Amino acid sequence: MSTPSSKPPRTLNKLLLPLGALSAGFGLMGAALAQTADVPAKPNDKPETVLPTVKAKAQAESAGKQGYQATETRIGKGKQELRDIPQSVTVVTEKLMDDRNLDDFRDVLRTTAGISFQAGETGEEDVRLRGFSLTQAGDVYVDGMRETGLIERDTFNDDRIEVLKGSASMLFGKGSTGGVVNQVSKQPFLMSQSEVNLSYGTGSNLRFTGDFNIKTGDSAALRINAMLQEADNFGARISKQGVAPTFRWGVGETDEFSLGFYYLNYNNRPNYNHPWFIVNGKIEPKLPARNYYGLASDYLKGETAYGTLTHTHRFADGGQLRTSLRHGHYERDLLVSAIGFQSATTPDTLSDATVLRRSPKGRVGSSDITTLQSDYTNKLQWLGMTHELTTGLDFVHESAKRNNNFTTGLAPAPTTTVGTPNDGASRPDTRGNPVMNTFGANSIGLYLQDMVTVATGFKLIGGLRFDRFKADYQTATTRFDRSDSLWSPRVGALYQPNEWASFHASYGTSFNTSADTYQFGVSAPANTRVPNTPPEKSRNMELGAKFDLLGGRLSLNTSLFRTEKYHERNTDPDSAAAQELLSGKRHATGLDLDIAGRITPDWEAFVSYTWIPSAKIDESNVALNAAGTGAQVKGDRPALTPKHSGSLWTTYRVLPKLRLGAGVTYRGEQNPEGARHVAAKAFATVDLMAEYTFSDKLSAKLNITNATNKLYADALYRGFYTPGAARAAQLTLKSTF
C-alpha cells in the first residue's frame, strides 16, 4: 500500500473499487436474507409486514432542522429516548450547527462543555473530555462505528453530533474514560427537498454546501450532500472537498436497506502553533492570532473514504435487527513548522523585528478499518415484567502504517520576524520515502443489556460485554503483539414518575488496551514480543435527572458524576509520566448541565455547562522536582481539566422575517500536560448572528465569531499553544427548493 508522502492521495475512482465490491457482496447477502423494496406488497400480505406507522415516521424525518432540542438518540446502540439513557448526553443538532456556523468537527466540540484540547507534537489536536483523551483513544464514531483517531472532519454530512459522557465500554468496547462522540449522518427521507448554502467571509473564505434529497419511489430516496471550501486565511490555507451520497430503499418496510459513501479530501496549511510567554506563572499569548508564521511549503493533506451498507429487518413482534458493514480508508500527511523565538525574548523586548525560528514537524500515516456490526432490539413481556432488550456483536479489523516523526533529510528553514507573517518563504521536501511502522488489530465484542420495568415508573438496567482484542506492532527492528480478553459491566436505575421527568443512577466501566491508545508507540521490555502492561481500567458513577419542560418544548438535563481511572499506565496520553506498571490513579468529580429547546415560539436556547470542582492525580510514581516543573505528581490537578467550561447560545425572532442570535463560550484556567508550573488563563469568546428570511425559499445569515477579537490559548502543549481563531465574519445565502 502506498503512503501519502510517496504520491498524491488516491483518486476517487480507485477508492470506489472496494465500495463496489462491498455493495455487490452485501447485495447478494441481502437478497438471500430478506425481501427487498423492489417487490411490491401483495394484497393478502399480513398487515404487520407493512408497518405503516414506521413509514410515517420515516417520512417525518424530512423535518430535519426543526430546532436545538433532541429527544432521541442511537448512541445507546438501538434508537432510544434520551430520558432512557442513564448517563449525560449532549446533542448538537444540525440547526444549532447551522446557526452558529460550526463547519468543522472541532468547532462543534469547542462549544460543548467539558471539552479541552491538547496541541499534539505533530499537529493533531488531542481532544479531552473531563480531562481524559478522546481522539487518541479512538472514541470518535460515525453512526455507532469507530473511526480512526487522528483525522480531519467536517460537518457537511452530519445530522447531529452526540456526546456521551463517562465510561461506556459495555456499549462500545475499548476506549477512553471520558466518553464517546458519535457523528450521526444525514439519511434520505421520503420527500423531494433540497438546500444550497453559499458563504463568503474573512480570509477570502468561500464555502459551498449542497443537500439534495430526491424521492425515487414509494419507499426509496437518494440523498447527496456535497461541500467545497477554499480560503487563503491570511496564510493558513483551507482547501477541502467532500461528497456523501446515500441511497435508501424499503423505508419503513419489513426489510430496509441503505448504501452510502463518504469522501473528504483536504490540502490545508495549518497555523500550527505560537510560542508563549510566562508571566507570574500564567501563559501570555502575544502574537496576533491571525498571523501565520509557517512556510508556504507547509501542508496538512489527506483523505477519508468509506462505504457503508446497512440492513434493517423488522420482526412482526416489534423486534428489530440492524446490521451494518463498513470499509474505510484514511490518509494523513503533515509537514509543518513549529514556531519559536530564535533567542530569549520577553513581552517587553518583543517587537516586529523579533526573529522567529521554524522547526520542522512531520508525520505520515494511513489506515484501513473494516467493521461488521449487528444489533438486535425488542420489547418483551417476561415473568410479568416488560423487558427492553438490546444485544449485539461487532467485529473490527484495522491495519495501519505510520511514521511519527518524518523530518529526516530536510534543510534548515529560513527564519522570519514577528512583523512579517506569511512571508512566502518555502523549503524543498528532500526527505525521500518514509520508513513506516505497521500495526494490525482484530477485535470482536458481544454485549447484552436489559432494561426491566419492575413497577410503574421504575426501571432497572443491567448490561455486560465481552471483548477479545489482539494487536500486532512492527518497526524496522522490533516486533511484538498482545492479546486481551475483558468484561465490561453496566448497571443503572431509572425513576420516571411521569412523561416529563426521569431520574437516573448508573455505574459503568471502560478499558484501554496497551496496544490501542498509543498503538504506534507501545513500549515493551527487552527480548520479549509482548508489551508489559495489561489494559487500563476506569469507572464512572452518575446521579442525574432529565426533564421535558414547557409542554415538551425545552429539555433540561443535569447530573452529578465521578469519573475514575484507577489503573493507569505509561503509554496512555493522559498518563502523568512514563509508568511501567498500572500504578497510576486519578479522578474527576463534578456536574453537567444541558438545556436545549424553545422557551417561547420565538425564543430558542442551548446551554452546555460542566463544573469539575474536584480533580486530582491520586497516585503516581513521578517524583516532585525541585523547580516544581515537568510532569504532574500526586496531588496535582490533572492537565487540561478546567473547573468551569460552558457554552450559551440563544436566538430570538424580533420580527417575522428577522432573527438575531448571540452566544458565549467559556473555558476556565487549565495547565498544559508536562508543564505543571504554568497555566493558561480562563477566556470567553462572543459570537453573533443575524438572519433575514426573504421568502420560504431564500434567506441570508451573517455570523461574527469571536466578536471581541479575544486573544487566547485554545490548545496547549508544553512550550507552545495553538491560538484561538481571531474575529471573523461570514455571510451565507441559503436557498431551498
Domain assignment present for 4: no
Closest by CA to 256, choosing from 316, 312, 308, is 312
- Distances from the Cα of 245 to the Cα of 102, 187, 307, 541, 553, angstroms: 21, 9, 10, 40, 33
Label residue 581 by pLDDT band (50, 70, 90): low
Average pLDDT, integer, range 650-657: 98
129 grid coordinates: 473530555
CA distance 482 to 441: 10
**pLDDT of 626:** 77
Residue 25 neighbours by CB under 8 Å, 6+ apart: none
Domain assignment present for 361: yes
| Burial degree of 40 (CB within 10 A; 0-12, 13-18, 19+) | exposed
Domain assignment present for 5: no
Least confident of 93-102, 115-124, 227-236, 423-432: 115-124
Range of the domain at 77: 12-736
Task: Report the 3 state secondary structure along 340-401.
Answer: EECCCCCCCCCCCCCEEEEEEEEEEEEEEEEEEEEEEEEEEEECCEEEEEEEEEEEEEEEEE
Domain assignment present for 395: yes
Label residue 108 by pLDDT band (50, 70, 90): very high
The pLDDT of residue 524 is above 70: no
Task: Report the 3 state secondary structure along 167-226.
Answer: CCHHHHCCCCCCEEEEEEECCCCCCCEEEEEEEEECCCEEEEEEEEEEEEECCEEEEEEE
CA distance 375 to 370: 17
Question: Which amino acid does the sequence have at 569?
Answer: R
- Percent of the chain as helix, strand, coil, to the nearest 5: 10, 55, 40
CA distance 351 to 653: 47
Average pLDDT in the chain: 87
| Burial degree of 381 (CB within 10 A; 0-12, 13-18, 19+) | exposed
The pLDDT of residue 51 is above 60: no
| Burial degree of 419 (CB within 10 A; 0-12, 13-18, 19+) | exposed
**pLDDT of 177:** 85
Question: Which amino acid does the sequence have at 506?
Answer: S
| Burial degree of 599 (CB within 10 A; 0-12, 13-18, 19+) | middle
Label residue 65 by pLDDT band (50, 70, 90): low
Q: What would the DSSP string read from start to end of 509-573?
A: EEEE-TTTTTTTS----TT-SS-S---EEEEEEEEEEEEEEGGGTEEEEEEEEEEEEEEE-TTST
CA distance 280 to 495: 50
DSSP H or E segment with residue 31 = helix 12-33
- Asked if 676 contacts 640 with a C-beta cutoff of 8 angstroms, the reply is no
**pLDDT of 125:** 65
pLDDT in tens, 435-492: 998 989 999 999 999 999 999 999 999 999 999 999 888 877 777 788 889 999 999 9
pLDDT in tens, 528-558: 545 667 888 999 999 999 999 999 999 999 9
Label residue 632 by pLDDT band (50, 70, 90): confident
CA distance 258 to 324: 9
CATH (domain of 711): 2.40.170.20
CA distance 367 to 399: 6
The pLDDT of residue 316 is above 80: yes
Least confident of 311-320, 462-471, 619-628: 619-628
CA distance 286 to 272: 16
> How far is C-alpha 733 from the chain's CA centre?
28
pLDDT in tens, 570-580: 544 555 444 45
**282-284 vs 584-600, strand pairing mode:** unpaired
- Asked if 561 contacts 166 with a C-beta cutoff of 8 angstroms, the reply is yes
Domain assignment present for 6: no
Dihedral of alpha carbons 666, 668, 671, 677, sign? positive
274 vs 124, more confident = 274
Average pLDDT, integer, range 702-707: 98
Go through the chain and tell me how many residues it has.
737
Neighbours of 355 (CB within 10 A): 12
Backbone angles phi and psi of 203, in degrees to 5:
75, 25
DSSP H or E segment with residue 101 = none
**Beta strands across the sheet bearing 277-279:** 277-279, 282-284, 679-680
- Distances from the Cα of 25 to the Cα of 19, 22, 32, 133, 325, angstroms: 10, 5, 11, 37, 10
**pLDDT of 14:** 40
CA distance 101 to 732: 9
Least confident of 545-549, 569-573, 609-613, 640-644: 569-573
pLDDT above 90 coverage of the chain, percent: 73
The pLDDT of residue 39 is above 90: no
CA distance 517 to 574: 10
Using CA atoms of 287, 293, 294, 295 in order, give the dihedral in degrees to the nearest 10: 180
- Asked if 100 contacts 110 with a C-beta cutoff of 8 angstroms, the reply is no
Domain assignment present for 1: no
Domain assignment present for 7: no
- Asked if 228 contacts 264 with a C-beta cutoff of 8 angstroms, the reply is no
What is the domain count for the chain? 1
- Asked if 15 contacts 329 with a C-beta cutoff of 8 angstroms, the reply is yes
CA distance 450 to 319: 14
**pLDDT of 121:** 63
369 grid coordinates: 478499518
| Beta partners for residue 449, in sequence order | 390, 463
Domain assignment present for 656: yes
Alpha helices in 34-74 (DSSP H): 52-60
Give the SS3 label for residue 109: helix
- Distances from the Cα of 654 to the Cα of 44, 543, 603, 649, 663, angstroms: 55, 39, 9, 16, 16
Average pLDDT, integer, range 705-733: 95
